[in-house]
């Protein structure tokens, strides 16, 4: 778990967990068969991003391709499109979008609509002529993408996957270790020793705290070597936050183990919390777009705070005072979870 999980997660999940669209499969229903419609289809066909799979004459065939998930979008060009453009200065097109994946559907529609809009502007300039065509005053827009200038989705995902990685390894190892003592009976021998309960819990926590920090360092090395992830912020600050975060995560794992009797119970209960924490932590969906009640629930979600810290420190170079709220929240959660573990272990001693 210490070496294999970080390596596999970083090399597979960072590539697999992406919202980037690599290809849009398009089917075209061209009922006009004019030079204008052919130019429009050729415009899509010339873009490597689009894969124009079929040019058919029946809308039902295009709809069947969408239903079979063989196409992402269907472009319907009606009869007399070119004639309507010449006579009435307007014509209509229809786009059918496979919206099983809402995010991908929205991106596909946006890309396609922008291409059609650009084609429309070219037609206006070409048909009406440059002297007659008087566009509005030219506005030059200079774009600058901060913190991820290449718009590389792997840079966005790698810190989030690292946050999950540290959580998984820390929580499972700590929880499994303590309940293993119960299964083999050595916990009874420890209970009759003079050791204090908080000393016992801290003793169980420290080795896995170090392992968690090691896995974070190991994951950062993998991210740098394979994805060229920029390390804009302070690594010292990042590991400082991680140290506080791990206290809470390990405390939660130890608390779960104190209320469980077998390793199987620890796994089931841990997965219950982890799935909720991970999905609500902002790995895929921005927390700001969640309902208000979900944002309130995230106040007790340590992964939410640490994922935000990872991305802001690694990609933005944020300092301690930029993340003071997250730090305070992690301290409160860490003290709470660790106290619960100590309190519950005392109850069952």
pLDDT in tens, 24-46: 889 988 888 888 888 888 888 88
Q: How much is the pLDDT for 133?
A: 46
Measured in whole angstroms, the distance separating CA 146 from the mean position of its chain's CA atoms is 18
Does the pLDDT at position 143 exceed 80? no
The per-residue pLDDT for 127 is 66
Token pair belonging to 332: 């409160």
Q: Report the pLDDT value the prediction gives residue 152, as an integer from 0 to 100.
A: 77
Averaged pLDDT for residues 321-337: 93
Average pLDDT value over all residues in the chain: 83
- What is the spatial distance between Cα 34 and Cα 29, in angstroms, rounded to a whole number? 13
pLDDT in the model for residue 312:
92
pTM score, two decimals?
0.75
Q: What are the DSSP calls for 166-205, one per residue? A: HHHHHHHHHHHHHHHHHHHTHHHHHHTSS--HHHHHHHHH
CA distance 105 to 122: 26
Q: Please, what are the domains in the chain? A: 24-128 (3.40.1710.10), 153-348 (no CATH)
Residue 75: which of 104, 107, 97, 106 has the closest Cα?
97
User: Residue 307 and residue 160: Cα distance in Å, rounded?
Assistant: 5
Is it the case that residue 142 has pLDDT exceeding 50? yes
Instruction: Give the pLDDT confidence score for residue 100 in this predicted structure.
Output: 81
Nearest Cα to Cα of residue 252 among 279, 275, 270, 277 = 270
Place of tokens 């499969």: 25
Segment 108-137 mean pLDDT: 72
């Amino acid at each position: 778990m210490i070496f294999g999980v970080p390596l596999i997660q970083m090399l597979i999940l960072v590539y697999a967990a992406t919202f980037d669209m690599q290809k849009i499969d398009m089917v075209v229903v061209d009922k006009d068969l004019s030079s204008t419609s052919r130019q429009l289809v050729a415009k899509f066909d010339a873009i490597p991003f689009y894969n124009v799979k079929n040019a058919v004459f029946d809308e039902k065939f295009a709809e069947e391709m969408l239903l079979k998930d063989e196409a992402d979008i269907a472009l319907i060009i009606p009869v007399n499109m070119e004639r309507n453009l010449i006579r009435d200065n307007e014509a209509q097109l229809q786009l059918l979008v496979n919206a099983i994946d809402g995010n991908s559907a929205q991106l596909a529609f946006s890309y396609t609509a922008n291409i059609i809009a650009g084609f429309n502007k070219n037609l206006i300039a070409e048909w009406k002529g440059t002297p007659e065509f008087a566009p509005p005053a030219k506005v030059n827009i200079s774009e600058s993408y901060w913190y991820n200038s290449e718009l590389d989705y792997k840079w966005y995902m790698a810190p989030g996957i690292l946050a999950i990685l540290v959580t998984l390894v820390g929580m499972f190892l700590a929880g499994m270790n303590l309940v293993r003592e119960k299964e083999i009976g050595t916990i009874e021998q420890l209970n009759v020793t003079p050791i204090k309960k908080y000393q016992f819990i801290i003793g169980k926590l420290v080795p896995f705290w170090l392992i968690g920090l090691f896995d974070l360092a190991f994951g950062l090395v993998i991210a740098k070597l394979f994805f060229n992830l920029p390390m804009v912020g302070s690594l010292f600050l990042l590991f400082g936050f991680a140290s506080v975060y791990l206290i809470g995560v390990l405390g939660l794992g130890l608390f779960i183990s104190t209320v469980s009797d077998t390793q199987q119970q620890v796994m089931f209960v841990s997965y219950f919390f982890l799935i909720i924490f991970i999905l609500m932590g902002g790995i895929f969906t921005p927390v700001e777009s969640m309902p208000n009640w979900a944002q309130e629930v995230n106040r007790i979600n340590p992964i939410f705070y640490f994922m935000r810290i990872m991305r802001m420190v690694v990609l933005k170079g944020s300092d301690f005072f930029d993340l003071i709220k997250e730090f305070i929240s992690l301290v409160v959660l860490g003290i709470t979870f660790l106290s619960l573990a100590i309190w519950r272990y005392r109850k069952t001693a």
